[in-house]
């Protein structure tokens, strides 16, 4: 009898230990998951790698451009990860932009009339009927021709729409909740980042990003019949899917974009190559994109004072403040890839910096790359109207009209909405707070009259 009692007590003790271990170490949690006991995501900078998209159970090859090690003082901020069940909740707003072809002629002539020295369009995204007509035409007008994209590192197509307007089509590469790891500029271009960048540009009052809209195209019936041979030769079938890899620096068959049953989602950007004529400039805060060689601004905090401000281009005129505007927008989006920029050539040095090519934005909602803020932190200059608007957005976060909510509302009208996963929207407001702190620090040390410039 005693022997039987001892067995029962031993069994109870084993069960108790097992339950305790289960509570302290939940099933599926790995000791080396990269997340410490406080829920802080550890950020690593791996070399070239294969990333697995858990949502589609497929491998996505990271952009093979060289990675860059973070400077000790310009690293990424570790952000506490929210519970998994909260991350998986995503709103699905309903699109209200018509999905049918408008009657009457396309709105392209109107677009040509909008160009000015300081803007590409006169109103915030989708707030005017003219803008709605333009974007509806971009999303629905028949495709008359398809060519390989212009030079660059990323896959794209040039489409000619009814009425002769050329647009740039960038295909969907990732699901909305996919996180790009490694360097901030890693990974393929994100089509939804192009769309979000356009809406953010309008909300910030810059109006210097070309209009972008989401569109779903049938590669078999809309593109292949009108594609030039150079582009058509890069198409192939994979079962019931259609894939293409185009022509670019890193374009090859193993990095192709594939459309389920031939239907491909992407972004459509109005093409600015020929009218108006553009001039390309090297950004003074360009990166080297090489781990073994850092740019001057990464190792010298006096870089702006010694190498930027003395230049006539930045000493007078709008260019320096335009770069600061771009810094504001890039930091909020997480865009670390603005190595060059364009202006409208006919306006010379007074031409405003255009906020084109925003597809490397919104890659990782859990990291804030402080190196993007280097121009603002080192130069301590900002346009007064931009600062006032940033402060308004900060105040709006307290009464329910935060920048993220306004951005979400603006993007809700896009045909491929939702555009951003909710974690990226939260990152927008978080980064705005850091931006405010950086400007406040500049004003404290140098004074408002020095830091804030007139429009």
For the annotated catalytic residues, the residue numbers are 337
Contacts of 262 (CB under 8 A, 6+ apart): 218, 219, 220, 221, 240, 241, 242
Q: Residue 367 and residue 356: Cα distance in Å, rounded?
A: 23
For residues 170, 171, 176, 180, the Cα torsion angle rounded to the nearest 10 degrees is -80
Q: Is 408 exposed, middle or buried (0-12, 13-18, 19+ CB in 10 A)?
A: buried
Which DSSP letter does residue 49 get? -
Token pair in block for residue 61: 């090859």
Residue 179 · residue 366 · CB < 8 Å: yes
Which DSSP letter does residue 353 get? P
What pairing do the DSSP bridges indicate for beta strands 452-453 and 382-383? parallel
Residue 206 · residue 264 · CB < 8 Å: no
Q: What sign results for the dihedral spanned by CA atoms 152, 153, 159, 165?
A: negative
Q: Which long-range contacts (CB under 8 A, 24 or more apart) does 205-208 make?
A: 205/124, 205/385, 205/386, 205/389, 206/119, 206/325, 206/329, 206/355, 207/119, 207/120, 207/121, 207/122, 207/123, 207/124, 208/118, 208/119, 208/120, 208/325, 208/352, 208/353, 208/354, 208/355
**Residue in this structure with the two tokens 């010379």, named with its chain if needed:** 348
Q: b/e for 85-117, b at 16 or more Cβ within 10 A?
A: eebeeeeeeebebeeeeeeeebbbeebeebeee
In the chain the first and final C-alpha atoms are separated, in Å, by 93
């Amino acid at each position: 009898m005693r022997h039987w009692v001892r067995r029962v007590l031993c069994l109870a003790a084993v069960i108790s230990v097992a339950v305790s271990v289960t509570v302290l170490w939940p099933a599926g949690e790995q000791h080396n998951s990269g997340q410490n006991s406080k829920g802080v995501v550890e950020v690593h900078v791996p070399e070239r790698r294969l990333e697995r998209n858990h949502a589609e159970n497929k491998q996505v090859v990271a952009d093979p451009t060289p990675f860059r090690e973070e400077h000790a003082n310009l690293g990424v901020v570790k952000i506490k990860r929210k519970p998994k069940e909260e991350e998986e909740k995503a709103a699905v707003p309903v699109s209200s932009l018509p999905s049918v072809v408008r009657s009457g002629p396309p709105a392209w002539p109107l677009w040509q009339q909008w160009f000015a020295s300081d803007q590409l369009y006169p109103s915030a995204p989708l707030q005017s009927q003219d803008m709605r007509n333009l974007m509806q035409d971009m999303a629905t007008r028949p495709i008359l021709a398809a060519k390989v994209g212009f030079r660059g590192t990323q896959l794209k197509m040039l489409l000619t729409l009814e009425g002769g307007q050329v647009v740039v089509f960038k295909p969907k590469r990732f699901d909305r909740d996919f996180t790009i790891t490694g360097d901030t500029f890693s990974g393929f271009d994100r089509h939804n980042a192009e769309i979000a960048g356009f809406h953010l540009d309008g909300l910030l009052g810059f109006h210097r990003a070309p209009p972008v809209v989401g569109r779903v195209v049938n590669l078999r019936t809309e593109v292949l019949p009108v594609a030039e041979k150079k582009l058509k030769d890069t198409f192939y079938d994979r079962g019931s899917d259609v894939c293409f890899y185009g022509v670019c620096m890193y374009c090859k068959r193993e990095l192709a974009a594939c459309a389920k049953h031939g239907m491909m989602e992407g972004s459509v950007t109005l093409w600015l190559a020929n009218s108006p004529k553009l001039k390309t400039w090297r950004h003074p805060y360009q990166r080297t994109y090489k781990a073994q060689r850092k740019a001057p601004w990464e190792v010298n905090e006096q870089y702006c004072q010694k190498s930027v401000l003395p230049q006539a281009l930045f000493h007078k005129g709008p260019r320096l403040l335009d770069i600061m505007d771009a810094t504001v927008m890039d930091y909020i989006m997480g865009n670390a890839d603005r190595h060059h920029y364009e202006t409208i050539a006919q306006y010379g040095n007074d031409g405003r910096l255009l906020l084109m090519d925003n597809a490397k934005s919104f890659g990782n909602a859990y990291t804030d790359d402080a190196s993007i803020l280097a121009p603002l932190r080192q130069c301590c200059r900002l346009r007064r109207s931009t600062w006032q608007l940033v402060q308004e957005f900060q105040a709006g976060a307290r009464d329910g009209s935060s920048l993220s909510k306004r951005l979400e509302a603006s993007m809700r009208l896009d045909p491929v909405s939702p555009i951003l996963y909710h974690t990226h929207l939260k990152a927008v407001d978080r980064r705005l707070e850091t931006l405010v702190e950086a400007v406040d620090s500049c004003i404290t040390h140098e004074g408002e009259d020095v830091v804030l410039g007139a429009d």
